[in-house]
Each structure stands twice: as C-alpha cells, then as structure tokens.
Amino acid sequence: MNDKLLRLAYAFEFLLAIVAIFTAWSEIGGQGALDLMHWGWKLGFSLVLAWAIVAYTIAICDSGSWWTLRSARWLAAIVVTVVAMGIVTYFYALQVDTGESDESTTISRTVHVLPQCGKGA
C-alpha cells in the first residue's frame, strides 16, 4: 500500500480510537466519575491510549507478525494506560455522590394556628 494512504489510514484510526475511547470510558467508568474528573486526565489518557493503539497497529503492519518485541511493548503500553485510567476513574467514582443516604431522614411539619379575628370581640 502507498505510504500516503497508509498515513491517512493511521490518522483515521487515531480519530476513531479517540471516539471509541471516550464512548467506552463513559459507559464502563460511569459518566458521573468523568464529570468530576479534571479535563487534563481525560485528555492525556485518551491521547496516549489512541497513540499507543495506532503505534501497535504500525508495529504489526511493519513486521508482518503479531508477536514481535516492538508490538509486545506497545501492547504493554496499552495495558498500562488502561489500568491507569481505571485507577483514576475508580478514585473519582468514589467521590460521586449517589444521593442515597444510610441515615433515615425525617420530615417535621410545623402547623401554625392563626387566631380567629372578629369573633367575640
């Protein structure tokens, strides 16, 4: 395949990986945790993971074999990045307030009785 077309295919793979990462991350980790998470974590992890996915694909295509030292390194980078994403997401998932409380809540009403005006006066 032509090098220019291959670069274009890798660029499209990168963009598709970004979309897939954000979609899967919000479904797996929960949107509440991602809403609390700092934007730098989300941007950094998603760019690094998409880059590692494309680099893994390049390593496989260049060598012609699935298991080489280069492809194994990129696969390890993907696994380490996904584990780090899981750890950070778990930390923020613990911070999410679900709205459920262990304590029973009581509601008290105060009834005000107004004096009747005009009777007996």
User: Average pLDDT for residues 90-100, to the nearest whole number?
Assistant: 81
Instruction: Provide the pLDDT for residue 117.
Output: 72
Query: Is residue 32 a contact partner of residue 95, using CB atoms and an 8 Å limit?
Result: no
pLDDT band at 115 (very low <50, low <70, confident <90, very high): confident
- In this structure, how many other beta carbons lie within 10 angstroms of the beta carbon of residue 66? 10
Q: How far apart are the C-alpha atoms of 17 and 21, rounded to whole Å?
A: 6
Answer yes or no: is pLDDT of 90 > 90.
yes
Of 83, 80, 78, residue with least CA distance to 53: 78
Q: Alpha carbon 67 to chain centroid distance?
A: 29
Q: What pTM, to 2 d.p., does this model score?
A: 0.76
DSSP 8-state symbol, 23: H
Answer yes or no: is pLDDT of 43 > 60.
yes
For 96, half-sphere exposure in the C-beta direction (CA atoms, 13 angstrom radius) is 16
